[in-house]
Amino acid sequence: MMNKLEQLKQRSQVVADTGDIEAIRRYCPQDATTNPSLVFKAAHLPQYEGQIAEALTWAEAHQGNANSTHVARLASIKLAVSIGTEILQLIPGVVSTEVDARLSFDIRGTIDYARHLIALYERAGVAKERVLIKIASTWEGITAASVLEREGIHCNLTLLFSQSQAIACAEAGITLISPFVGRILDWHVANGERKTFSPEEDPGVVSVRGIYEYYKTRGYKTIVMGASFRNTGEIEALAGCDRLTISPQLLQALEESDSSLSAGLSDITETEPRPTQGLAEADFRYQLNDDSMASEKLAEGIRNFIKDQERLELLLQDRVMGQQEINAATNS
């Protein structure tokens, strides 16, 4: 009998939520996703030592006499692309690479950063069709992504916690959204009277099912990719979703189970696209503000991604300064 991971792959596209090359090689996903937290973790793995050195050398060459802070920031961008390029050698599909979360409310900055990422990928021989640019699902992020999509740069709108965010993404023609199942559960456990939920009652599962049904019954082509899982029960409850991005720990748990996969999503008949009137900015902001869970988790997610981006840059800055000290001692 097939294990649960093999069964899941028959119903949904499985995506690895990691930058760990060995995990990707083992579980053979269709796609892979990364974010600042995962890139920071990957930077501590010995197999990426060469990419770190290359990114620093490249950044120093392009920054000239700039200080170590600017070199580290540029090197972090190059490192994310290098890790993505390495991952693409092992998977048949696409890799998601994230825009700096500090630009989550900057439309022009997000567009420029995304174009820079794609340019670096293309210089590495990677076609833009194999890359998804990850952007936070703020109004500004969705607006920037709609511009990028019209340029043929496909986007993955992340940190998505509400139907208003999902509707805005679909109407903007976004390629893929990543609703965060586990973080929705976390909020309800922390703020509600109930501390445990069955997979069927899990608030994150319920949210993604609602978004999935909304899209399919209205003919939206935006891909729904469940993300941020806390347990395999959530994953099984969403079996049949377009894509599911899963951590190595949960991929392992699925692989080690030989029992039958749970029923998951019911079949939904897709309809022809309906004319849409669009979700106005004022309505989007009001609805998001009115949803305590979504607004709080979006803000928290942006802050945490910024924190890990800054930690990555500090790690790279230490390397730059260390090399500068060695060079100074050698030349003295």
DSSP label at residue 12: S
Q: Which is it for the CA torsion 110, 116, 117, 119, positive or negative?
A: positive
User: Cα(309)–Cα(312) distance, rounded to whole angstroms?
Assistant: 5
Q: What is the pLDDT of residue 326?
A: 57
Q: Which residues belong to the active site?
A: 134
Q: To which residue do tokens 């942006």 refer? A: 302
Give yes or no for a contact between 39 and 79, defined as CB atoms under 8 angstroms apart: yes
Give yes or no for a contact between 260 and 30, defined as CB atoms under 8 angstroms apart: no
Per-residue confidence band for 291, with pLDDT thresholds at 50, 70 and 90: very high
Q: What's the gap between Cα 161 and its chain centre?
A: 13
For residue 255, give the amino acid letter.
E
Query: Token pair for residue 238?
Result: 């969403």
- Look at residues 181, 242, 243, 178 and name the one whose alpha carbon lies nearest to residue 216: 242
Q: To which residue do tokens 């409310």 refer? A: 105
Instruction: Name the pTM for this structure.
Output: 0.94
Per-residue confidence band for 266, with pLDDT thresholds at 50, 70 and 90: confident
Residues whose CB is less than 8 angstroms from the CB of residue 95 and which lie 6 or more positions away in sequence, other chains included: 31, 32, 33, 34, 84, 87, 88, 130, 131, 132
Q: Report the percentage of the chain scoring pLDDT > 70.
A: 94
Q: How do residues 98-154 score in pLDDT, each as one tens digit?
A: 999 999 999 999 999 999 999 999 999 999 999 999 999 999 999 999 999 999 999
Q: What is the pLDDT of residue 77?
A: 96
330 pLDDT higher than 70? no
62 pLDDT higher than 90? no
Helix, strand, or coil (residue 66): coil
Pick the range with the lowest mean pLDDT from 62-76, 182-196, 306-320. Answer: 62-76
Run of H or E residues at 178: strand 176-179
Segment 72-95 mean pLDDT: 96
Segment 298-307 mean pLDDT: 98
User: Cα(312)–Cα(13) distance, rounded to whole angstroms?
Assistant: 30
Q: How do residues 201-245 score in pLDDT, each as one tens digit?
A: 999 999 999 999 999 999 999 999 999 999 999 999 999 999 999
Query: Token pair for residue 286?
Result: 């009001």
User: Cα(55)–Cα(90) distance, rounded to whole angstroms?
Assistant: 21
Q: What is the largest CA-CA distance in the chain?
A: 73
Pick the range with the lowest mean pLDDT from 58-67, 249-258, 301-310. Answer: 58-67
- Residue 172 has phi, psi (to 5 degrees) of -85, -5
- Residue 33 has phi, psi (to 5 degrees) of -125, 145
